[in-house]
Copies of this chain bind each other. A is one copy, B any other.
Amino acid sequence: MGYVVGVDLGGTQIRACLADMKGSILCEARQPTLAKEGLQPVLQRMKETIAQVLHGISGIEVLGIGVGSPGPLDPRTGVVIAPPNLPGWRNVPLREILSQEFGLPVYVNNDANVAALAEQRFGAGRGCSDIVYLTISTGIGGGVISSGQLLLGAHGLAGEPGHTTVEPAGPRCNCGNVGCLEMMAAGPAIARHALDLMQQGQHSTLWAVVQGGMELTAEMVGRAAQEGDDVALQAVARAAHYLGIGVLNLIHIFDPDRVILGGGVSKLGSLLFDPVRAWVREHAMTDLQRETPVVPAALGDQVGLLGAVAWAMDRISSL
């Protein structure tokens, strides 16, 4: 039986693991990314972390290394183009660098895409050939598996439903587009909705936070919503409304077996899921699609590692 190394290159941590072809993790290592130090130190720490798991267990055959990295990147060439949260990274041939270092085939893909693959193989999408995965935190990333295949696109840039317009009258997004799902439904949007409502004169327990000069976060709004604060509930409901629109749009485009929602904002639970499910039930085109399950992600903070493992397995088995 062969093994693969999975690497999760995050803005905060670099993690690596050794796993078998069923996704069982044999050993794991991690280091802080310290992204601000720039390209070379981060690459060095990646190599060290990989070496640790590679040499942790002897006498087994390692078939390749899978890497989940912040995008944009080209999964076909393994070149990382210019990730906003990795300063100094521009057109980095990550595949080449790591495969020269370790003498193994390396497979790079973006973090949200490999997360989708992980949920389909090992998580909330097990047994499904068609899934849509969204991860909702400070941004909205995504990945789609259609007929068992991860959607890549002509230049490896497919799977950015977070940057589709769901509100033409909405604000301009950093990406250049207008009223993106991410601008209307991710964490910062929830905080902004709450702030807007308070500035319009509505009372909220969150006002103390703002008056105290602290930055309002989606987590604070979420907590206030759980406690019944009306402004917080409205802010979450507004995000859930747009998320419902985005999810149903993806159902009409992809007709998936299920939609999987992960990321920090998905921890709002039924406050978020119930209105999304209701929107789908009330607005989908066909009975089958009205019933599309919208479910929470299952892999928690292992999703990046397992995604890197799944992507390597996927490439190796397609050889």
Contacts and interface: CB of A to CB of B under 8 A. Distances in A.
Interface of A: 72, 81, 128-130, 144, 146-147, 149, 151-161, 163-169, 175-178, 241-242, 245, 248-250, 252-257, 282-286, 288-289
Shortest 7 CB-CB contacts between residues of A and residues of B = A153-B255, A164-B249, A158-B255, A157-B255, A130-B154, A154-B257, A160-B252
Contacts of A178: 283
A158 B284 contact: no
Contact of A154 (B128, B155, B284): B128
Given A253-B160, A253-B161, A245 B285 contact: no
Q: Which of A128, A159, A175, A288 has the most CB of B within 10 A?
A: A288
Contact of A129 (B146, B154, B157, B284): B154
Contacts of A81: 286
Contacts of A72: 285-286
Contacts of A166: 165, 168
Nearest to A169: B169
A156 to B, nearest CB: 7
Contacts of A255: 152-160
15 contacts: A129-B154, A130-B154, A130-B158, A146-B152, A147-B149, A154-B256, A155-B289, A164-B249, A164-B253, A168-B241, A169-B169, A176-B283, A176-B285, A178-B283, A249-B249
A165 B128 contact: no
A165 B254 contact: no
A158 B149 CA distance: 15
A253 B252 contact: no
A283 to B, nearest CB: 5
A175 B241 CA distance: 19
B165 A245 contact: yes
Contacts of A164: 248-249, 252-253
Nearest to A176: B283
A240 to B, nearest CB: 13
Contact of A155 (B149, B161, B288): B288
